[in-house]
Amino acid sequence: MDSLSSSPTTASPQRCLFVTLGCAKNEVDTDRMRSLLIDAGYGVADDVDSADVVLINTCSFLASATSESIDTTLDLADEVSAGVRKKPIVMCGCVPSRYGDDLDEQLPEVAAFVKADEEDGIVAVVDSVLGNAGREARADLTGTLRTIEGTSAFVKISEGCDRFCAFCAIPYIRGRYKSREEQEILDEVSSLMEGGVREIVLIGQDTGIWGSDFSDGRNLAYLLRRVAEVVRPYDGWVRVLYLQPEGMTDELVSVIRDVPEVLPYIDIPIQHCCERVLKSMGRSGSEEQLRQLFARLRSEIPGMVLRTTGLVGFPGETEEEFEALLDFFKEQEFDYMSVFPYSREDGTKGATMEGQVPEDVKMDRAQRLLDVAEELGFSATAKHVGERVKVIIDGVDDSDDGVELIGHTWFQAPDCDGAVHIESGEATVGDVVTVDLVDSFCYELVGEIVDGE
């Protein structure tokens, strides 16, 4: 490779190409690594040709995600080999965390593997694969390091998970649950708001139990109040995702209802409603308990928006139990729903259970549930037509048909739900504008900027 001994702190720094697969948590991890490398003097490449090293942050939540990660890595290997000079590939994240001990022989195309809990050492790894020995290591990695330039930013408040649901490999990939320290979170939020971010989205594997591993009683409701205090001077929004049913305490409900900065957007992935299936999954609850929970939330937080997740085809699920889930979705009229067919994941309890549902049956059930989800979701979106809302401008689409502003409002989580399309008016990315919603299509809304607002 050319210039292996050149220092990345020269006028022409060596550049890193970042490829991220998977969920928002991986996006946050990539941003952390990118920030560390920029802080160490490396540059960022836009494509393989201009890169000196390629970093791929992988997902291994499902077997399909693992396959995508491997296929993308091999495609990148072909691409870098076809260039004038060979560039090393560094595989990061979930795949190395899950299969690290077996990857050296299986993927000789990869120069180095970095597990999720080792990503703060990414500078030393890149130094090594590029031959930049002798770099002085950064002593303090606790400060805020982000490169977010968009209007919304995901902020992780925890790592790992203690639930060990029978269908999920996350505890084996990410380890046991650990709350992130309060001050770290607040410092990051403050830095992001100062940098122009308008919305903070708090994420984790199980956000509702933040603080449960502390000894002083701090909890998610407390953290939301503290984050709200930070974003308040900026007229910012706070959204929280991935709440489990057991986490919806009276205190948390009151914060979502009463603290203006905290959006009344509640994301509770129930997976199923039948008590027998939930118990088999290693989860708690029943159809009646879930019904009571959602009735309480709707009563105590008027006008809230509700997102959930359904998992079909878990081992032993009968047609009657699937039909019950279908009916429950219809009854509850969720605003947004994600639907997944069960994936048999190595190392999980579900993988060895009897009663594995045939693949064609799983896919049929998933499609039937998705059809209901879309029907309800499209209807829920249309009900917002006629409302006047605040919209954060996320982008500007300048095409032959004219300029269109694209943004999202409080009931649309970034990268999850639909958007608001504004075909006329003047605004720039990061502006918050008042909009009348005049039409809808699928999950998308059409709006008009209110003059003088």
Residue 283 tokens, joined = 């989860």
List 446's β-bridge partners, or say none.
Answer: 421, 439
Contact present, 264 and 301 (Cβ < 8 Å): yes
> Using only C-alpha atoms, what is the Rg of the chain?
23
For residues 256 and 119, give the distance between their C-alpha atoms in angstroms, rounded to a whole number. Answer: 33
> Could you tell me the strand order of the sheet in which 305-312 lies?
265-267, 305-312, 336-341
Q: What's the CA gap between 394 and 150, in Å, rounded?
A: 7
Distance between CA atoms of residues 348 and 390, nearest Å: 44
Backbone angles phi, psi at 152, to 5 degrees: -120, 150
- 102, with CB counted inside 10 A (0-12, 13-18, 19+), is exposed
Give one word for 373, left, alpha or beta, with left for phi > 0 and alpha for psi -120 to 50: alpha
| Residues 89, 374: Cα–Cα separation, whole Å | 39
User: Would you list which residues are annotated within the binding site for [4Fe-4S] cluster?
Assistant: 23, 59, 94, 161, 165, 168
How many Å apart are CA 355 and CA 437, to the nearest integer? 48
CA-to-CA dists, residue 120 to 20, 31, 140, 173, 401, angstroms: 16, 11, 11, 17, 45
Positions at the binding site: 23, 59, 94, 161, 165, 168
CA distances from 148 to 41, 55, 109, 377, 422 (A): 18, 18, 30, 30, 24
Instruction: From 306, 206, 310, 220, select the one nearest 265 (Cα to Cα).
Output: 306
293 CB burial (10 A radius; 0-12, 13-18, 19+): middle
Strands 158-159, 178-179: pairing kind: antiparallel
